[in-house]
Each structure stands twice: as structure tokens, then as C-alpha cells.
Amino acid sequence: MRWRKFNGEMIDLPIISAVEHAIKRETAAGFRLKVCIGTDSQVKGKETEFATVIVFLREGHGGFMFIHNYKTLQQFTIKERMLTEVAKSIEIAYDLCNLFTVYNVDMEVHADINTNPHFKSNDALKEAMGYILGMGFAFKAKPEAFASSSCANKVVN
């Protein structure tokens, strides 16, 4: 998996090392961190592109993010695509959760799923919430799920 910063700079370290370096740097600078992980996707013709983000929030001082983009030719129903987004976020959250525990960093998983039943994505809400909470992670859906619905949304090409 290739990760990059928002400015396009590639991250050459394994993501767990890059995240640990970021946590150490930011806490040494006196910032209290919170991390939000989310994924969004966009269908363009036969391709579906996913963008997963790790958003680092500096309490009261902005934030920054790491980004991973991935394309596939696999076809999805809307519900399958929403649950695939959630699975991608959980995969990263699971890989990093021990690190967050060691450094006492709060983490949330954000799902780009609408809580309003009038939207198609709502069909996946119960399964997504159960999946995320069942893994022991804090869960946010739209409109509070800014990591997926705002941050990842901006970096899906």
C-alpha cells in the first residue's frame, strides 16, 4: 500500500512507522491528538476508486492527513460499496489500534453512510455500525463522519 501526504509527498515508511513518527512529533510539540479514519469511493465508468484517509486532529490547532488511493474494476451494488469502504477503514484502524493505545490517542472510524433513510447508502448503516462497533472502535456516520465524507471525498480522483 502506497500512502502520501495531502501535498502529494509520498510516504516511504510502512504506514505504522509513519503514524508512530507523526504521533511522537506532534506530542513532543505539545499537541493532544485524535485520529479519525475514513474511506470514500467514486464510480467512474467501469472503475471504482477508493480513498482511505488517516486524519490527525491537533486539539485546537488544525490537523493533517495521510492518504491511500486504490482503483478496481470490480462492480458493486451501493450497499456492497459502502461496506467495502467501511472494511477498508477497519483494516487500517485494526493495523494501527495498538499504536493508538500505547500513545493514548483517541481514534474513530468514520463511515460515509447517511443516517437519513431516504438515501440509498442508508441500507448499509446497520451492518456498518455493527461491524465498526463490533471491532471495538468508536463510530461516526454522516453528518459527523467528516474523515470519510469531507476529507476522503476530496482526494478521490
Q: Over the stretch 117-150, which tens digit does the pLDDT of each residue have?
A: 888 778 788 889 899 999 999 999 988 999 999 9
Name, in order, each residue with C-beta under 8 angstroms of 58's C-beta and a sequence gap of 6 or more: 26, 31, 32, 33
Rg (CA), the chain: 15
Q: Over the stretch 73-118, which tens digit does the pLDDT of each residue have?
A: 999 998 999 999 999 999 999 999 999 999 999 999 999 888 888 8
Query: What is the chain's percent helix, strand, coil content, to nearest 5?
Result: 40, 35, 25
What integer is the mean pLDDT of 34-47? 96
What's the pLDDT at 117? 81
CA-to-CA distance for 85 and 104, rounded, in angstroms? 26
Rounded to two decimals, the pTM is 0.93
Q: Over the stretch 43-74, which tens digit does the pLDDT of each residue have?
A: 999 999 999 999 999 999 999 999 999 999 99
Domain ranges of the chain: 3-155
What's the pLDDT at 123? 79
What's the pLDDT at 119? 80
Task: Please report where in the chains the cell 503514524 appears, as a residue.
Answer: 19
What's the pLDDT at 126? 87
Nearest CA to 95 out of 125, 54, 124, 41 is that of 54
**Cβ distance 145 to 115 under 8 Å?**
no
Nearest CA to 45 out of 73, 20, 8, 70 is that of 73
